[in-house]
């Protein structure tokens, strides 16, 4: 079985994690990694939102599956655009890791006035500017090792807690930011395993590593993003939770780029279609709360 992945240490860890889960169901299953360099990996000097959004990290990997050079692809779900390309399907969502953002170098409260925070995310920047209007920001690109090296040069950097955890660097986190303070990116902490839509045998195998709770949370958050019609260049975030009774709660956020306006709202439902719940929340933020005017600026 050929698994397409980006070449970073984190991407390889994620691909090996999925491969190990598949081998647990079939010890004799041979699994090889197909490492794909993406445009997002090649252009580290350009902000993600100027390169066309987060699809820059997945398009070439998806093409490897569609063209038959690989059988499946493993992605950080937060890197996926809202829509899945024709011919592909998200066949498995394994158990989700911590969805929170992490600060390395300082807590939000302890940053001195005017401190510089490094982040490549407009979502993080907008929410931090809302919380601390005195902060200034600089870009942050590269793999986790490169990003962590910047922590000594600025007041703090912001990265995904799941990335630190997966690379045994969680001890570097100074603060794990609760979603009530800063909403994470759609799909943050989750993995998405894609394969060709017509590969019934592989879809059956991948069903063995599916986590139903993680699937519902991801579908709700992706529904939210789909209705907004944007991806990485949009200051937006969402976090869905499934409770013990199967009820779903999703919090969503849209903001102005400068963080002067941040709109948040929650929606809750039982026995609901997760995608529809996410889309309904987005429509309320856009239509009822004035979010559409923010995104037009």
- Just list the catalytic residues: 79
Contact 101, 160 (CB under 8 A): yes
CA distance 133 to 285: 23
Query: Which H or E element spans position 177?
Result: strand 175-177
Contact 58, 38 (CB under 8 A): yes
Contact 253, 127 (CB under 8 A): yes
CA distance 58 to 75: 7
**In the block, which residue shows the tokens 């992945």?**
5
CA distance 183 to 193: 24
CA distance 77 to 35: 18
| 268: helix, strand or coil | strand
């Amino acid at each position: 079985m050929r698994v397409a992945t980006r070449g970073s240490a984190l991407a390889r860890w994620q691909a090996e994690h999925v491969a190990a889960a598949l081998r647990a169901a079939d010890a004799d299953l041979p699994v090889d990694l197909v490492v794909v360099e993406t445009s997002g990996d090649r252009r580290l000097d350009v902000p993600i939102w100027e390169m066309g959004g987060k699809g820059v990290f997945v398009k070439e990997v998806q093409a490897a599956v569609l063209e038959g050079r690989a059988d499946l692809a493993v992605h950080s779900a937060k890197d996926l655009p809202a829509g899945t390309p024709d011919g592909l399907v998200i066949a498995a969502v394994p158990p989700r890791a911590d969805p929170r953002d992490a600060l390395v170098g300082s807590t939000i409260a302890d940053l001195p006035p005017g401190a510089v925070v490094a982040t490549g995310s407009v979502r993080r920047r907008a929410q931090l500017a809302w919380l601390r209007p005195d902060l200034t920001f600089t870009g942050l690109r590269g793999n986790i090792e490169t990003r962590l090296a910047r922590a000594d040069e600025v007041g703090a950097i912001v990265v995904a807690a799941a990335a630190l955890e997966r690379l045994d660097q969680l001890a570097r986190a100074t603060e794990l930011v609760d979603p009530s303070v800063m909403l994470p990116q759609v799909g943050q902490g989750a993995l998405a395993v894609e394969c060709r839509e017509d590969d019934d045998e592989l879809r059956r195998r991948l069903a063995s590593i599916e986590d139903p709770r993680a699937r519902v949370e991801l579908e709700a958050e992706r529904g939210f993003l789909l209705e907004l019609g944007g991806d990485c260049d949009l200051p937006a975030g969402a976090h869905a939770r499934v409770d013990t009774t199967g009820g779903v709660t999703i919090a969503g956020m849209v903001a102005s780029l400068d963080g002067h306006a941040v709109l948040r709202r929650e929606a809750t439902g039982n026995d609901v279609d997760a995608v529809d719940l996410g889309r309904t929340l987005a429509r309320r933020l856009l239509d009822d709360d004035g979010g559409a005017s923010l995104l037009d600026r």
